[in-house]
């Protein structure tokens, strides 16, 4: 809410509906070190989506801040924290305490932004060697249960249960199916497969979040002359595909090595994945002029 607060002094009310009922929305954003200093990847698309998420959960939409206000605050916070090599950014719109109960309307929205240095989400070696995934027994939340188009705090309990299930079973990540049995997404990532050189990803109607990294990767792939289609995917498509990978702000672009013990292709990063990943990694570091508008430079 416009005030810089020391990390150890950050406080919220213990009776906020956000704590008790998960009533809040958030974003995950990355800042990368570049030759021109730290730069935030797709900043305004992220702050735009944060406000769209808030519109799904009144009264979070009553926050007075614009998308540009939030973007400016993020840049200022990165400067204040001195993250020259990059950082992870978590803006959140929560509710202050109004009254206890399921009615959130008496509570007023508050905006919190935090930044910290954070490495590769699924491990540095996973960017080449890939990750082991399983299909979760937990289905992705239904379209008429909680709006999947928003990033709401409470809905990620669904993802956390799937993540814990995968980790306890010896896997790195879980793939969640939609209520109709189609492939939806990972616990915090969109999913792509490659068959005969064609890249496929589930449509948003199957429940995945409309990922900003997802749309960036689709654009990169098409700019590289690759065909990308959105289509229903089922479990066997992942067993039989030539390559597969996950995308997300945290995961960036991470190959899938195995699906429930079955090798995907050679069991490591495939050539199409590597081609798209290489361009993506260059783009987030400011090395591709074509995508320079995707970056907001903190010190300029």
Looking at the annotation, which residues are catalytic? 151
Exposure b/e, 154-184, CB count within 10 A at least 16 = b: bbbebbebbbebbeeeebbbbbbbbeeebbb
Task: Give strand pairing partners of 40.
Answer: 31, 296
The tokens for 39 are 């730069």
Cα 212 to the center of its chain, rounded Å: 7
């Amino acid at each position: 809410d416009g005030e810089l607060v020391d990390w150890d002094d950050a406080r919220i009310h213990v009776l906020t509906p956000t704590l008790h009922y998960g009533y809040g929305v958030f974003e995950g954003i990355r800042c990368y070190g570049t030759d021109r200093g730290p730069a935030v990847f797709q900043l305004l698309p992220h702050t735009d989506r944060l406000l769209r998420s808030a519109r799904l959960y009144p009264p979070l939409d009553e926050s007075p801040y614009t998308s540009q206000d939030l973007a400016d605050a993020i840049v200022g916070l990165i400067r204040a924290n001195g993250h020259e090599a990059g950082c992870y950014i978590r803006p959140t719109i929560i509710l202050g305490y109004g009254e206890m109960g399921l009615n959130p309307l008496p509570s007023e929205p508050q905006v919190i932004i935090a930044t910290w240095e954070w490495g590769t989400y699924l491990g540095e070696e996973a960017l080449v060697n890939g990750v082991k995934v399983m299909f979760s027994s937990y289905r992705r939340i239904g379209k008429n249960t909680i709006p999947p188009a928003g990033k709401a705090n409470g809905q990620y309990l669904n993802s956390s249960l799937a993540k814990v299930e995968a980790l306890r079973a010896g896997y790195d990540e879980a793939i969640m199916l939609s209520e109709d049995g189609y492939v939806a997404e990972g616990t915090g990532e969109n999913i792509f497969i490659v068959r005969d050189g064609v890249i496929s990803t589930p449509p948003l109607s199957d429940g995945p979040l409309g990922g900003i990294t997802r749309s960036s990767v689709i654009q990169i792939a098409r700019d590289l002359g690759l065909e990308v289609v959105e289509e229903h995917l089922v479990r066997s498509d992942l067993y039989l595909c030539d390559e597969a990978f996950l995308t997300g702000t945290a995961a960036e672009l991470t190959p899938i090595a195995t699906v429930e013990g079955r090798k995907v292709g050679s069991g490591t990063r495939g050539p199409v994945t590597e081609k798209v990943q290489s361009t993506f990694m260059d783009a987030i570091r400011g090395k591709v002029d074509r995508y320079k508008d995707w970056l907001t430079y903190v010190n300029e």
